[in-house]
Amino acid sequence: MNERVVLYGHDTMGLGHVRRNLALAAALRAGPGAPQVLVLTGAAEAGRFPLPEGVDLLVLPGVAKEESGGYRSRRLDAPLADIVALRSSVLASALTSYAPHLLVVDKVPRGFAGELEPVLPALREAGTRVVLGLRDILDAPTAAAAEWSRLRTTEALRQYYDEVWVYGDQRVSDLSADCRVPPSVRRLLRYTGFLAEGRPSAPEAGLPPVADGEPYVLGLLGGGQDGDELAEAFAAAPRPAGVAGVLVAGPYLRPGTRAALHAAEAADPGLRVVDFCLDPVPWMRGARAVVCMGGYNTVCEALSTDTPTLVVPRVRPRAEQLVRARRLSELGLVDDVHPDDLSAALLGRWTADAVTRPRRARNAVDLGGMDMVRRLAETHFEEARHAA
C-alpha cells in the first residue's frame, strides 16, 4: 500500500518554504514506498512548479509578511484573524479527510498563528506520525532562542511531535545550542544534512538565455521581494570582457525595479533579465560564477555545484541568511558580503576574480539530506505498519 504524506508550509514570505516542500515531495516519491504526497501551501505561485506523479497541491488563502515583521491577508480584503480562521478550517477538513500516515510541518509547530493546533490532537489519536521540519538556521542565536520560547515550541513538541528533522549539518549549525533546546526534546532532533544533492530537476526550465558556449555570471534574487539592491548592483556591475550577465528576478520583485532592470537590459547587450526560472540548478552549474541571496534553498542549490558563489544575505527582519552566509564562508564554501557593503564596483571586482578560479566540490559538509529524509520517513512507515 502507498502511504500518505502531508507536507505543510505556511508560506508567508517568498517561495522558500514551498520550494523546500516540493523538493522533499519529489525525494519521498523517489523512495522505495513512493508515498502519495499532498503539499499544503499558502503560495499560489506553487502551481507554476512541475509536480511529480503522486504529488498534488492544496493552496490556502494567502498571508503576507510585511517588512515590519507583521502579517496581513495577501489578496483577500479581510482581517487577518478571519483569514487564519478560514485557513484553519480548511486545514482541519483536508487533514481529517486525507488521514496522512505522516505529517511534516515546516518550521512553525502549531502552524501559522496556531492554525494547525485544532486538528493535531485528532491526528495523533488516529495514529499519524507528526514531524517538525526546520531549516539549518532559524535566526541569530539570541533571537532564535527567544522565538523558540515565545512560540512555546518545547511544549508543542512534547505534546504533538514524534521527531524533529533539522535540514542541516550539525557541524555548521547546532540548533539545539542556538535555541537552548532542553535535553527532553533534544532526543527528538535528527540532523539530515543539507537538502542539496539529489534535488529534483525540471527540464521545463529550459536553457539560460545565452548563446551556446557563451560564458555568463548568474544572479539570483530568490522570490525577489527584497532583492532590489542586489538586482540594481548586479545590473550595473562591470563584467569581464565576453562574459554575459543573467539575472533571475523572481516573481515578487517590485514592479518599478523590474521595469528598471528591463530598461538596463535594453541598454546593455550583455545583460539578460529573466522573470522566473523553474529550476536554477543547471543554470548555476553552467555559470562561471553565481551571485545570490542567502535563502536556504538557493544556498543548498549552490552547495550542490562547484561554481564560485557570492552570497549577499537578507538581514531583516531575521538574521538567518546572514548567519548562514558567514558560517559557510568561514568554512570556505562560499564568499559573502553584507548588503550594506554591496556595490556594483564590489560585484565587478569579485566577478573578475571568481571567473578565473578553479572549481572545487563542496564536500566539507553533509549535502545528503534528501536521502536521509527518505530513510527517516521509511522508518516511520515501518513502525506504523508494525503497530497496525
3-state secondary structure of 217: strand
Q: From 108, 137, 112, 174, select the one nearest 294 (Cα to Cα).
A: 137
Ordered by start, the domain boundaries in the chain are 4-195+368-387, 203-354
Summary mean pLDDT of the chain:
94
Judged on CB neighbours under 10 Å (0-12, 13-18, 19+), 72 is middle
Q: With cut-offs at 50, 70 and 90, classify the pLDDT of residue 1.
A: low
3-state secondary structure of 133: strand
- Secondary structure element (H or E) that encloses residue 106, with its range: strand 102-106
CA 358-363-369 angle, 5° bins = 135
* Amino acid, res. 348: G
Q: Provide mean pLDDT across the span 50-77.
A: 91
pLDDT of 229 over the 70 cut:
yes
pLDDT at residue 316, rounded to an integer:
87
Q: Provide mean pLDDT across the span 192-221.
A: 91
Strands 4-8 and 216-220: unpaired
Contact 49, 278 (CB under 8 A): yes
pLDDT at residue 384, rounded to an integer:
80
Please tell me which residue, 28 or 68, carries the higher pLDDT value. Answer: 28
Residue 355 is placed in which grid cell? 571567473
383-to-28, 101, 188, 235, 377 alpha-carbon distances in Å: 17, 11, 16, 53, 10
* Amino acid, res. 113: A
Judged on CB neighbours under 10 Å (0-12, 13-18, 19+), 269 is exposed
Q: From 51, 128, 52, 129, select the one nearest 97 (Cα to Cα).
A: 128
Domain 4-195+368-387 has CATH 3.40.50.2000: yes
Percent of the residues in the chain that have a pLDDT greater than 70, as a whole number: 99
* pTM of the predicted protein model: 0.94
Do 4-195+368-387 and 203-354 show the same overall fold?
yes
Contact 204, 277 (CB under 8 A): no
The contacts of residue 150 (CB under 8 Å, 6+ apart) are none
* Amino acid, res. 31: G
* DSSP letter assigned to residue 359: P
Domain 203-354 class, CATH top level:
alpha beta
The contacts of residue 376 (CB under 8 Å, 6+ apart) are 131, 163, 165, 190, 192
